[in-house]
């Protein structure tokens, strides 16, 4: 499924950022959903929560912004904008 790949890629990026910054886990994650991604925010959030179980992203609050910019960096995907990392 298309969304499974997008979500797995997102989790891998988050885990790399957490590790690279010496963190324990992600606390919150901000993403931008491309206008051609064919995903609804609630659907993305639900699948993210299931896929994040057992990872450094488990329990993180996922904030999703819908983009209308067809010329943006990834109009068919999910763009990671920021991650708040717990370090202690």
The residue-averaged pLDDT of 9-26 equals: 97
The per-residue pLDDT for 1 is 45
The per-residue pLDDT for 75 is 86
How many structural domains does the chain have?
1
The per-residue pLDDT for 74 is 82
Instruction: List pLDDT tens digits, range 38-64.
Output: 788 999 999 999 999 999 999 999 999
CB atoms inside a 10 Å sphere around CB 25: 16
The residue-averaged pLDDT of 9-29 equals: 97
List the domain range (segments joined by +) for residue 78.
Answer: 2-86
Give the pairing type, strands 78-86 and 25-33.
antiparallel
Report the CATH number that the domain containing residue 54 is assigned in CATH: 3.30.2320.50
């Amino acid at each position: 499924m298309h969304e499974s790949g997008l979500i797995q890629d997102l989790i891998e990026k988050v885990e790399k950022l957490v590790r690279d910054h010496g963190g324990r886990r992600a606390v919150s994650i901000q993403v931008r959903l491309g206008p051609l991604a064919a995903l609804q925010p609630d659907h993305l959030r639900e699948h993210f929560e299931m896929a994040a179980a057992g990872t450094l992203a488990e329990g993180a609050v996922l904030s999703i912004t819908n983009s209308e910019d067809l010329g943006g960096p990834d109009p068919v995907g999910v763009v990671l904008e920021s991650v708040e990392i717990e370090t202690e």
